Structure 1
Amino acid sequence: MKFTLKFLAGTAICFFLAQTNANAQGCVAIRSTGGLCSMAEHPDSVTSDGGWLFNSNSRYYRSYKHFVGNQEQHERIELGTNVINHSYAQDLTLTRIFNNRWSFSIDVPYLVNSRSSLYEHGGKERRLTHSNGLGDVSLRAYAWLLNPAKAKKGNIQAGLGLKLPTGSYTYTDYFYNTGANGAKTLGPVDQSIQLGDGGTGIITEINTYYNFSHRFGLYGTFYYMISPRELNGVSSARGGTPSAKAVANGSDIMSVPDQMMVRMGANYGVGKFDLSAGIRYECLPVKDLVGGSNGFRRPGYISSIEPGVSYRVHKFSIYTFVPVAIARNRTQSISDKITTQLTGVNAHGDAAFADYSVNLGVSFKL
């Protein structure tokens, strides 16, 4: 009982931070933000010698409902013109806990995606494009800001790191009925199923908790990734020639956007189980904090309720979280705004979102 219940309320929030693209799941390309942050171990539970923590997190979602702003385009499903993305991410995270205050982690994602659509294949028949392979690896350092010896009920953890451009952002597949005489064309797959974005991101993170008792506590997480690179040089024309409209509004080249996530909620310990309920907000901003914001992107956000449960035995934990969408919004991009200015007619692109995502994982203290 020394640690299992008293601090379990503060641990569940960081057994997974998945996203991603992930992560506004679907055509809004928010990628996985990693499988674990070092808050999975409260500082009072760690000896002065520290230790190692290994986490494996799996995430799956299916996006198929289209939105323009916050309005769902029900007719897309009825007519069979909707885009359907299936996305699977496997994050492997190794954390070195140096002591009860400092830690460092490396997250390695492997992604498997498929995208079914009509419009990308000449509008004649529904076809698939795929991508699979290593995603963007991230490195992060964490520190508890309050002295664990004095902050018994709550603490704040700050994280800083880098997201490296290790995942392919030029992944190609065949698009059918797009070439001369209906031939297939080899070109870069859609931004939403690319394995990476081509940029080095600066990761900032805040994790906090407060335990009212050995059973009940609150948690909060703030994550923001700054992407200084504006464009990655990859054409959005899927192997074809960009349209005059795309060239005019700058959407002919893929953008490298920022990402944001906020989570907050409560945990309740029952024996070796920890039950959690919270809200989750994921966003791909219209404008980046640093650098330009032009290029092709589908900005938007998704708000979800996020129930979860974890089970802990000694050095082993297993958990599941299922964020369920309650609000989805495909916001107006910079390219949309440029088109609006050029034509005098309001332009607002759409994006497909998922109803929910499923996250399953295990954690071992080595």
Structure 2
Amino acid sequence: MQRIPYFIILLCLFYPLFSTYSQGCVAIRHFSSCVGSNLENNLLSTGDIQIGVNYRYFKSFRHFRGTEEEPDRLANNTEVINHSHAWDFFATYGINDRLYASITIPTVINTRSSLYEHGRNERNVTFSRGLADIRFGFGYWVFDMEKSPNGNLALGLGAKLPTGIYNASDIFYNVGPNGEPQTRPVDQSIQPGDGGFGVTVDFQFYQKITTDVFSYASGFYLINPRETNGVRTFRETLSPILQNESIMAVPDQYSLRGGLSYNISPTISSSLGARFDCVPVKDLIGGNEGFRRPGNVLSIDPGVSFMKSNFVINLNVPFAVRRERPQSITDLQTEQLTGTPRNGDAAFSDYVINLGVTYRFANNKVRLAPELENNFK
């Protein structure tokens, strides 16, 4: 049987989707697949346990309306600036050589600096932090590892629990009837949770091309049946025509990625691919009322990984090459009501920093067959 270097397989998807929230679009909130798409988490023997944490940071500040950037926002100092920090703590358990279970417990710290939310005359900052929405689920490798050593496909199904605060509040200045500060819910983009129970479906695929090169692909879709979460946005106070944006929506979200991985040395590997992250205009299930910022980002996704024994460090820094904020349902409703074209804007980042650390506890009592085990050393 042809030998497959384990560190190549390990790198095929070493940037996990459990750190998604994608390219830092204000429209696209922090989320991920419940079982991730990190092969070193999911290629497990029976009884193996993999634990780890993934840290993500971005600064969003470039405003787009459609696919056109609005550079005047930076020139006039009217841009909205989000700083987002997220830590995803996760564990994956090998039920058998093909079936695995995973849980992700995310925490976030977010800040948002703006003028328009504070009377438009002075810039102030709002803040949120805490537990986000916990995800758990199962994944299954479709093909037997022994019979298909050079490539495989895993399918996953999971759930997202509404454990994160979705009505986090802070002080907004110059917004009261007499210009006094008021306590209000923070913007949708920095809420730790979305208030909805969701279902996730995902896949991951790898295929050997040459001795040291593998192709990979992965993706997930979050189905959020709940239409709105009842949290007021106060956007109707900015303009009476924004009454249809007064309550926060609970939108779907999805992500796709693919590329090539290549080993540099026995302990260091690299990858280069592309990724597409999106909050769609319409959900697959349920209504589409309420305020959302639909958006999508196409990124170039380079990465590097270090592996020593059961310990792995991954670094990915996707760079945005195309950003779009399409018309939302409420944009279209306002356009029909006023007869004036309307397309809301959203702020995006230039890049995202993703740093992951994992460790595997191998079950020495239950092991793969020796001839298969050799393929993954």
- After TM superposition, the score normalised by the length of structure 2 is 0.91
2:245 aligned with 1:245: no
The answer for the alignment partner of 2:369 in structure 1 is none
Matched residues in 2 for 1:344 and 1:280: separation?
37
Q: Which string of whole-angstrom CA distances, capped at 9 and with x for unpartnered residues, describes residues 213-255 of structure 1?
A: 33110000011000000000001107x85853122xx211100
Equivalent in the alignment of 1:7: 6
- Aligned pair 1:178/2:171, yes or no? no
Counterparts of 1:161-176 in structure 2, within 5 Å, are: 161-176=158-173
Structure 2 CA distance for partners of 1:18 and 1:82, relative to 1, 3 Å: farther
Shift of residue 35, structure 1, vs aligned partner? 8.7
In structure 2, do the counterparts of structure 1 residues 38 and 25 end up closer, same or farther at CA, with 3 Å as the change threshold?
closer
Equivalent AA in structure 1 for residue 251 of structure 2: P
1:14 CA displacement: 4.2
Aligned residue type for 1:27: V
Change (3 A) 1:146 1:7: same
Deviates further, 320-329 or 207-216: 207-216
How big is the shift at 1:331? Answer: 0.7
The one-letter code of the counterpart of 1:70 is T
CA distance in 2, matches of 1:87, 1:157: 31
- Structure 1 92/242 Cα, relative in aligned 2: closer, same or farther at 3 Å? same
* Partner residue, 1:202: 199
Verify the 8 A CA contact 1:106 1:138 in the aligned structure 2: yes
Deviation per CA, 1:179-220, whole angstroms, max 9, x where unpaired? 132210100000000001100111000100001233110000
- Whether 1:293 and 2:292 are equivalent positions in the alignment is no
**Inter-CA distance 135–107: structure 2 relative to 1 (3 Å threshold):** same
Q: Quick one: structure 1 residues 320 and 36, their matched pair in 2 at CA, closer, same or farther if it must change by over 3 Å?
A: farther
Percent identical residues: 41
C-alpha distance in structure 2 between counterparts of 1:275 and 1:261, whole Å: 21
Distance 2:302 2:131 in 1: 29
Larger RCO (CA under 8 A, 6+ residues apart): 2
Correspondence for 1:117: 114
1:101 is the counterpart of 2:95: no
Amino acid at match of 2:26: C
Q: Which residue of 2 aligns with 1:72?
A: 69
1:279-305 CA-partner distances (Å, limit 9, x unpaired): 010000000000011110000100000
Question: Structure 1: where are the runs of 5+ without partners?
Answer: none
Change (3 A) 1:73 1:57: same
Q: After the TM superposition, which parts of structure 1 deviate over 3 Å for at least 4 consecutive aligned residues?
A: 240-243
Q: Secondary structure at the match of 1:41?
A: helix
Could you tell me which amino acid in structure 2 is paired with residue 157 of structure 1? Answer: A
Q: 1:266, 1:33 → 2: CA distance?
A: 21
**Which amino acid is the alignment partner of residue 344 of structure 1?**
G
Of 52-61 and 180-189, more deviation after overlay is shown by 180-189
Measure, in 2, the Cα distance between the counterparts of 1:36 and 1:98: 13
Sort the Cα spacing of 1:325 and 1:71 in 2 relative to 1 into closer, same or farther, 3 A.
Answer: same
Instruction: Give 1:270's match in structure 2, choosing from 237, 254, 264.
Output: 264
Q: Which runs of 5+ in 2 are unaligned?
A: 362-377
Cα–Cα, structure 1 residues 119 and 38, in superposed 2: closer, same or farther, change >3 Å? closer
Query: Which of 140, 147, 153 does residue 150 from structure 1 map onto?
Result: 147
Paired residue type of 1:33: S
Distance across 1 between alignment mates of 2:318 and 2:85 = 15
Contact 2:23–2:299 under 8 Å retained in 1: no
How many Å separate the matches in 2 of 1:293 and 1:279? 29
From the superposition, tell whether residues 345 and 37 of structure 1 become closer, same or farther in structure 2 (CA, over 3 Å): same
**From 343, 349, 356, the counterpart of 2:344:** 349
Contact 2:23/2:318, CA 8 A, preserved across alignment: no
**More displaced stretch, 266-275 vs 108-117:** 266-275
Q: Distance in 2 between matches of 1:180 and 1:317?
A: 55
- Does the CA-based 8 Å contact 2:29-2:190 persist in structure 1? no
The CA distance in 1 between the partners of 2:184 and 2:120, in whole Å, is 17
The whole-number CA distance in structure 2 between the counterparts of 1:304 and 1:26 is 12
One-letter amino acid of the structure 2 residue matched with residue 81 of structure 1: T
Q: What residue number does 2:250 align with?
A: 256
Tell me which moved more, 29-38 or 212-221: 29-38
- 1: CA distance between counterparts of 2:185 and 2:337? 28
Distance 1:135 1:125 in 2: 30
What is the TM-score with the length of structure 1 in the denominator? Answer: 0.94
Corresponding residue SS for 1:31: coil
Q: How many residues align?
A: 358
1:46 CA displacement: 4.0
Could you say which residue in structure 2 is the equivalent of 1:361?
356
Alpha-carbon shift at residue 342 of structure 1 (Å): 1.0
- Within 1, Cα distance between the matches of 2:97 and 2:37? 11
Note if contact 1:9-1:211 (Cα within 8 Å) is conserved in structure 2.
no
Distance in 2, Cα, partners of 1:42 & 1:60: 22
Contact 2:33 2:220 survives alignment (8 Å): no
